[in-house]
A and B are shown apart, each in its own frame.
Chain A
Amino acid sequence: MIQKKVCMVGVFGTGKTSLVQRYIHSLFSAKYHSTVGVKIDRKQVRVGETDVNLLLWDVEGRTADQEIPASYLRGAHAVLLVADGTRRETVEQLFDLRELARSAAGDIPSIVALNKADLKDEWVLTAADTSKLITGGFHTLTTSAKTGEGVEDAFRWIATATMKDTLPAVQPQVRHGN
């Protein structure tokens, strides 16, 4: 059994925890966020013939007052960056967060989940924003906690990325919003 440490980071209120809630095995309650600042769950993904256990460190969201503790990112094998498609500033901070992850854990695979894809009316990201991310070296996909869109894709990408030397391509998916 292969285990991999995956950190899930983002700005406060981007819906990280609810995004993965239905797809993971949880032992600890959400109150760990407000106390220890991190909650660890498990997601099992099959890559080829191998079962990969992703130990998902759901780190408390970044706020103006509180930076994400770098020690939680230490030793991570991959990082899942979550941004809120209805709040542009959460996307802008992704570059910063990736830097944080790289300084703590080295050049590890990272993927961006542009969350809340179900809120079409409030979606503010344009094609320009997305392409800016892609040219910035990000792998992105849109996700929704409500419909579950993109969640399994994100996990599969991460599991594959941690197992391979080269980063896999993101599977094309139906885009929402602009």
Chain B
Amino acid sequence: MSAEGDASVRELTELRELLVGAERRQLDELRRRLDTFELTPEELAEKLPQAIVQRAARDRQLAIALAPTVENAISESVRRNPQEIATAIFPVLGPSIRKAIAETMSGLVNTINRAIEHSLSPQGIRWRIESWRTGVPFAQIVMRHALVYRVEQVFLVHAETGLMLEHVPEDSSGDADLISGMLTAIGDFVNDSFEPRQTGELRAFAAGDLTVLVETGPQAYIAAVVRGQPPNTLPLKLQTTLERIHLQWSNPLASFNGDATAFATTQPLLEECIETVLSTDSDATRKGLRTFAWAIPVVLVIALVSWWATRGARQWNAAVERLEAEPGIVVIRSDRANGKWQLTGMRDPLARNPSLLLASRGIDTNDVAARWQPYMSTEPALLVARARRVLTAPDGVTLSVNGDSLVVVGRAPASWIARAKALAPALAGIGSVDFSRVSPGLPTELGEIVSEVERAHAFFAAGSDSLDATALATVASVAKKIEALIASAAANRYDIVVGVVGRADPTGAETNNLALSRRRALTVRERLVSLGVRPSRLTVDAVGSNDPISADSPAERARLNRSASFVVRAQPTASDNGAERAR
């Protein structure tokens, strides 16, 4: 029975094992885990993110607990591989550093502005005037003049290998890859030569008006070729572009192995850096005018008021100046007293009326009390006026003064000349009289014949001294007039002498021309004599081409100067011997 009982217990255990064995093992496992409660890594991984979120929302315990570990982890990472962290935070770090620097810089710029404002170079002064005129701050004017530049090329270069990743504009240089390499080499050269750990990386180099700006990043750098003066904002723009490229192309940059295809898409970004900025001042000028627009009427009103207040005095001073400039008037004193302008001075009786002069300058003469002492002025204008008045000069005579000498020029009746010669030296202020340029005039009715004779020309063919039919007719007509002239002059007790002046055109040698002109004059003289003019009444003068008759065209001038013309001289008959008059 016991063996049978044992067997039945075993069977029961087997049966139980068969029926609920799996469940029992699960129960055992559950019991064990309830006794020793712990999470498996798998379970923890499942729950951790949610747990962190929930705990962080509740209090700061999680942050406090994690802080030392995170700090340690970062410092360990930096110690092991600084490049890794630098690369990771580069796109984030750049903007915040720039912001801090920008604030520092704005203070510095103000200091620089003040320094510039003290500069006194000619350009500085010119710009200062421009600043004053437009109302734009001086520093801004300086900036505007310095702001012309053009970004011509932009290179994106792999930092480590110096291989070109991209270059814009596409067609500008077939050797962009070589230039990229060389830029890298030059950067390396500067780094090796000048201890860049102290000085920083190569940022820019310039040749003439070309500047190459370089902005470096951990994996690539950007270089811009700029003509002119690059603005302060350009490096920033390049840096921003470079940061974006590092951010968006971080995988192609990290795995770059000579194939730049992936960087073709950076082209639009790089092209944004290509720009031309010309200085234009229209906008700033308008702004300047707007800012100061309120001041313009104020200034105008002030100017108008002060102009009005000083107007009377300025007008009076101008009028007195005019008086002082007038010949024969000397102003000794001029001031304002008893509500009137007081004027004292000296005046030549022949001078113009001072009251009229003042009135012509807008002065009310009722407002002027003037006392003039008469005096005799020796100013040329007064000397001439006095001489004209005393000598009663005829119309054909002009008088002038040269030093203390009275010069008489013109044509006057011999009787007047004789009287003037006697009177003039007696005039006050006149030392001597020059009558050498006055000629005794003919009675007016003879003047007409004289001018007819003097207008006549006997023309010759080129190189010829013989008279053609026209010239013969001219000479015949002149001969008749000379005869009439001599006769009329004699009746007025004048002797007439006619000079025959021969001319030649300017072609050929002057000695030949002179001889030719003399032959022409002689031909005409002979002809006149053959027509009855007495040889003693004729003189011959040859001028060649020295004293030419002017004309509009060279051809006409040549024709006019191949000629003989006539000059009439009249002299009062020297004596009454009658021999001349008998003719």
A residues whose Cβ falls under 8 Å from a Cβ of B:
1-5, 25, 27-28, 32, 36-38, 40-42, 52-53, 55, 57, 69, 71-72, 74-77, 162
Contact = CB atoms under 8 A, between A and B. Distances in A.
B467 to A, nearest CB: 87
A107 to B, nearest CB: 15
Interface stretch (B173-181, B339-347, B494-502, B560-568): B173-181
Q: Which 10 A-B pairs have the closest CB atoms?
A: A75-B160, A75-B161, A40-B181, A71-B188, A5-B161, A3-B163, A27-B178, A27-B175, A38-B185, A4-B258
Contacts, number: 74
A55 B164 CA distance: 10
A3 B186 contact: no
Interface in B551-579: none
Contacts of B378: none
Contacts of A1: 259-261
B162 interface: yes
B258 A3 contact: yes
A42 B178 contact: yes
Given A1-B259, A57-B162, A77-B258, 16 more contacts: A3-B177, A3-B259, A3-B260, A25-B175, A28-B178, A36-B182, A36-B186, A38-B189, A40-B178, A40-B182, A57-B181, A69-B192, A71-B191, A72-B185, A76-B161, A162-B258
A2 B259 contact: yes
Given A41-B178, A42-B178, A55 B163 contact: yes
A5 B258 CA distance: 8
A75 B159 CA distance: 9
Contacts of A71: 188, 191-192
Interface in B149-184: 158, 160-164, 175, 177-179, 181-182
Contacts of B257: 77
Interface residues of B, number: 23
B32 to A, nearest CB: 54
A72 B160 CA distance: 10
Nearest to A70: B192
B177 A36 contact: no
Nearest to B185: A38
B161 A53 contact: no
Interface in B177-211: 177-179, 181-182, 185-186, 188-189, 191-192
A41 B257 CA distance: 19
B409 to A, nearest CB: 83
Contacts of A52: 258
B327 to A, nearest CB: 82
A53 B162 CA distance: 13
Contacts of A28: 178, 182
7 contacts: A2-B258, A5-B161, A25-B178, A32-B182, A36-B182, A38-B185, A42-B177
B186 to A, nearest CB: 6
Given A2-B259, A40-B178, A162-B258, A74 B160 contact: yes
Nearest to B187: A71
A74 B159 CA distance: 10
Contacts of A53: 177
B188 A69 contact: yes
Interface string B523-550: 0000000000000000000000000000
Given A36-B185, A37-B189, A77-B258, A3 B164 contact: yes
Contacts of B189: 36-38, 69
A5 B192 CA distance: 20
B531 to A, nearest CB: 97
A57 B185 contact: yes
Nearest to A37: B189
Nearest to A69: B192
A75 to B, nearest CB: 4
Contacts of B161: 5, 74-77
B175 A75 contact: no
Nearest to B181: A40
Nearest to B257: A77
A139 B258 CA distance: 23
A55 B258 CA distance: 10
Nearest to A5: B161
A6 B186 CA distance: 17
B234 to A, nearest CB: 25
B176 to A, nearest CB: 10
Nearest to A36: B189
A151 B158 CA distance: 28
Contacts of B181: 5, 40, 55, 57
Contacts of B258: 2-5, 52, 77, 162
Contact of A40 (B185, B259, B260): B185
B92 to A, nearest CB: 26
A27 B179 contact: yes
Nearest to A54: B258
Contact of A5 (B162, B186, B188, B261): B162
A57 B158 CA distance: 15
Nearest to A162: B258
Nearest to A38: B185
A20 to B, nearest CB: 14
Contacts of B175: 25, 27, 42
B178 A5 contact: no
A73 B258 CA distance: 15
Contacts of B261: 1
Contacts of B179: 27
A59 to B, nearest CB: 9
Contacts of A162: 258
A25 B174 CA distance: 11
B259 A72 contact: no
